[in-house]
Amino acid sequence: MPTPSPTPSLTSGLVRLSRPRQWIKNFLVFVAPAAAGVLLHWTVLWHSVAAFGIFCVGASGTYFLNDAIDATADRHHPTKRFRPVASGAVPVRLAVTVGFGLMAAAALLGWWLAGWHLAVVMVVYAVVNVGYSLGLKNEPILDLAAVSAGFVLRAVAGGVATGVALSNWFLIVTSFGSLLIVTGKRSGEKKLLAEHDADHGAIRQTLGLYTPSFLRSVRTLSAAVTVTAYCLWAFERANQIHPGHDPVWFQLTIIPVTIALLHVTRVLDSGAGAAPEELALKDHRLQIYGLSWAALFAIGIYS
């Protein structure tokens, strides 16, 4: 059998390194305009779609750089050792070059789409992720904050790109909801490494510093704040959209949100949150709760 040429292998490695499945996280850019009820306005919609594409470029750049920096540690991981850089399919130098190029392109595209405001968001996102890769990932608590910030900045980018003002409640819900997911991811990683008898210290130092009870406490705190802030936002939004007339549709969205958070908390507590994107793609119950929320919210906007 002839030996395959290196080009397809490198090309495949570059595509996998960009992690297209992770792009589902970038749908957070649609949340702010959707919550404001203006997502279907043509200008807002196309700016949101463009911001989604820009974040895909920027996020992929951070994945390239992160995998290049983490290549040695990833080779000790039961699943990450198959990543393109760790496995040798993509050279480290090429990954670093492409990574910085994509992050720079995202900042320039952000400037083109929405001026310096979106460019700053993309630069901050890149700086946070570079800082995470270079050392914050080894600092307890700060590593959780850095990863959570990535989710929050996606939501902020959606508001900045479309000119939608972000309320305090929106930012609180996004921040603590992100912390819930990130903490669940750490719990899932600990369980995965324990099942494969892998050394926490050789892969991620902070995992050995987080006890299951601590991670559970953070998840409980995050879920409680998220639900409380969402309830306050829902009541405030109802008064803004329908002053003097309250059809309660916004308040009813609290039900699927609370059920979804309880479901996610249960799943994360079982240690199944190592890959949050898989949860969003494959958990049909969570998808039904999300559709229920969207239907109630749409009725609240247009009733």
Q: What would the pLDDT profile of 17-37 be if each residue is shown by its tens digit?
A: 888 888 998 999 999 998 888
What is the average pLDDT score of the chain?
86
pLDDT of residue 109: 96
**What's the CATH number for 1-166?**
1.10.357.140
| CB < 8 Å & 24+ apart, contacts of 295-302 | 296/249, 296/250, 296/252, 296/253, 296/256, 297/34, 297/35, 297/249, 297/250, 297/253, 299/249, 300/237, 300/238, 300/241, 300/247, 300/249, 300/250, 300/252, 300/253, 301/37, 301/241
Sign of CA dihedral 179, 166, 35, 103: negative
DSSP-assigned states of every residue in the chain: -PPPPHHHHHHHHHHHHT-GGGGGGGGGGGHHHHHTT-TTSHHHHHHHHHHHHHHHHHHHHHHHHHHHHTHHHHTTSTTGGGSHHHHTSS-HHHHHHHHHHHHHHHHHHHHHHHTHHHHHHHHHHHHHHHHHHHTGGGSTTHHHHHHHHHHHHHHHHHHHHHTPPPPHHHHHHHHHHHHHHHHHHHHHHHHHHHHTT--HHHH-GGGGG--HHHHHHHHHHHHHHHHHHHHHHHHHHHHHHSTT---SHHHHTHHHHHHHHHHHHHHHHTT--S-HHHHHHH-HHHHHHHHHHHHHHHHHHH-
Find the mean pLDDT for residues 88-113: 92
User: Rounded to an integer, what distance in angstroms lies between the CA atom of residue 44 and that of residue 30?
Assistant: 10
Q: What would the pLDDT profile of 240-276 be if each residue is shown by its tens digit?
A: 776 666 668 888 999 999 999 999 999 888 877 777 7
Give me the residue spans of the domains in the chain. 1-166, 167-303
User: Rounded to an integer, what distance in angstroms lies between the CA atom of residue 93 and that of residue 184?
Assistant: 32
pLDDT of residue 4: 46
Do residues 192 and 274 touch, judged by C-beta distance below 8 A?
A: yes
Q: What would the pLDDT profile of 130-164 be if each residue is shown by its tens digit?
A: 999 888 888 889 999 999 999 999 999 999 999 99
Find the mean pLDDT for residues 159-186: 91
pLDDT of residue 78: 74
Confidence category of residue 202, pLDDT binned at 50, 70, 90: low
User: Rounded to an integer, what distance in angstroms lies between the CA atom of residue 186 and that of residue 173?
Assistant: 20
